[in-house]
Structures are given as structure tokens and as C-alpha cells.
Amino acid sequence: MFIYTRKEEICMISFFNEILKSLPPELPDIINIINYSSSKISIIRLENGFSTPNAYDIYKFILPLNSLEYPPEYIDKNKYYLEKRKIFPINPGQTHFSQTDKGLIIKTPLSLVIFIEKRFMQNTAKTVFGKNNVFFENKNSDLNVNLNNLINLFIEETINKQPGYQFILENINLQITINILRTIDCNCNHNLKMKTYCEKKTIKRVINYLKNNYNQDFSLEDIADFASYSPFHFIRIFKAETGKTPFDYLLDIKIDESKKLLKNSGKPITDICFDSGFNNRSHFSAVFKRKTGYSPSQYRIISKS
């Protein structure tokens, strides 16, 4: 069963209509597809694969949704195995099909297939990376939280069609495409991948420094200088990698250390305060209770019971 929007909104499903033209003509009568579409992106929910070789002048991304074994996918005569909750790209013009010994259609695990208009993908890549001849590596990539949320929001908007949904879909089109260009290996983002890798190594080095020197005095400028970044840039990439500011991360290290001392030693709480890198007992007690829900003395009793 094909699910279409209202006739007066036919412009919003024009891209899906272009996809239909690329399918074998007999397929619409024998396959059930649930379609969510805008003018540039179409997301299809299906449980079927095609055993006949096919190629689209469109960027295609397959996302298996459950752990049932997905049949091997053949792309340009190479064999690939798709994985649950991992996204697999297929480029325009690449001949592909699902392996089967039975007829035209093969039953596959529930999947989403994302189609992105070729020109839209290339124009976006030109704007973001300065090159438009985008070619993705045929391999499984992790589905990140942002892309997962964007896909769900895209589907929600196409179903509910609240006032202004066309504008929202145009924005989501761009966000989905940029997210894919950033995170799935392709010939455009290699420099970005290398930069991200270097930043991850730097943040890991900083975290080790914090763990080894939590009870020493140093400033944000000292840590940023250690990382060879400006303080502003350092805070941004540190939070992007850890989900916390450097200050909050350091506080958590200090609190974790104080919890170990409270549990495993008989030291006075004042000594534990200073050994954990705090300079003031009242401040230590306030931070400890905010982080754990207990005062240091309460935690000591609970942890030993």
C-alpha cells in the first residue's frame, strides 16, 4: 500500500514520484511501501528487497531497524552485509540488489531507506565542503543520535502536517543531508574526520591530565594552553566530546576521588576535602551534596553499611 499526502500537496511528494519511475514497472502492484516524503528527501519504510539489479540517479541509504539477518547486498558485484541500526550508503549509478533465490521480491527485516535528491546532495556538499562530486564509501556507519532524531522529526512532520510543516521540512532536509555528509565516510569529509580524530586525542590527553592533577591549582587558561587551543575553542570541543564543561568534568573527578576516600579510609572529612582538591570544607560539602544527594558524612555511613 502506497501512502500519499493530499492531492493539493502533490508538490511535496514529487521526489517520491521520481523514485517510482526508477523502479521496475511491476513492483507497485506487488510491494507494500510506507512513504514519508518532502521535495528533496524521501524516507521509505519497507520489509522487502529487490532481487533484480537496479541503479538510481539518487543517493540511497539503507537503515535496518531490527536484529534479524539482512540478506547480503550486492553493489557493483561486491558483497556486503548490513547491520542493525547502522546506515549503509549507495551512490547514484551503483547497481545493487539483495541476494535471493526466489523471484523478484525477497522478504527482508524492517528497514528505513532514505533517498536524497542527487543535485540537492551535491549542492549542499559544495556549500559545506567546497566540492560537489560526492561519493560515499560502501560500508556500515553508526547511526548517531542527531541523525536518528532528525529522521523521527521528518517522519512526524510529514504525518501530522501542522501549519508551517513545509518550512520545517525544508530545514530538516538540509540538516539530514549535512549530518550525513559530516558523519558517513565520503570523499568530502576526510579532512573533517582527521580534524575530529585529532581533537578526540587532545581531549583524551586533557582528561588524563585532569585525573592526574585534580588536587593541583591550575586555571582554564592553563588547561587550554596545555591543549594548544584558545579557551573559547577548548571549552566548545571539550563539551562536544564529553557533554560537560572542563570545570564540571573536573568537579566530577574530585567528587569521585572523595567518594573513594570516604568509603575506604578513616580520614577526617576535612582532610578528604583537601586531598580531593577542594580548598574549603563548606564548598566541598555543598558540591558533594549537589552531586550525590548526600552530605559527606551521610555518604560515609551509607557506603560502609
152, 227: one domain:
no
Alpha-carbon span 87 to 132, nearest angstrom? 21
134 pLDDT exceeds 80?
yes
Residue 4 has a pLDDT of 33
177 pLDDT exceeds 90?
yes
**Mean pLDDT, residues 147-167:** 92
Residue 17 has a pLDDT of 72
Q: Among the three residues 133, 157, 188, which one is the final residue of a domain in this structure?
A: 188
Grid cell at residue 88: 549503509
- Domain presence at residue 1: no
Residue 196 has a pLDDT of 60
303 pLDDT exceeds 90?
no
220, 255: one domain:
yes
171, 249: one domain:
no
129, 272: one domain:
no
Q: How many domains does the chain have?
A: 2
181, 94: one domain:
yes
199, 179: one domain:
no
181, 205: one domain:
no
Q: How confident is the model at residue 199 (pLDDT cuts 50, 70, 90)?
A: confident
Q: Between these two residues, 23 and 175, which has the higher pLDDT value?
A: 175
Give the CATH number of the domain where residue 107 resides: 2.60.120.10
The model carries a pTM of 0.59
- Domain presence at residue 112: yes
139 pLDDT exceeds 90?
yes
161, 213: one domain:
no
Alpha-carbon span 11 to 15, nearest angstrom? 8
172, 220: one domain:
no
Give the CATH number of the domain where residue 299 resides: 1.10.10.60
Q: Between these two residues, 197 and 89, which has the higher pLDDT value?
A: 89
183, 227: one domain:
no
For residue 147, the enclosing domain spans: 7-188
Residue 284 has a pLDDT of 94
161, 198: one domain:
no
46, 179: one domain:
yes
Residue 100 has a pLDDT of 60
Amino acid (1-letter code) at residue 210: L
Dmax of the chain from CA atoms? 80
**Mean pLDDT, residues 53-78:** 86
Grid cell at residue 66: 531490527
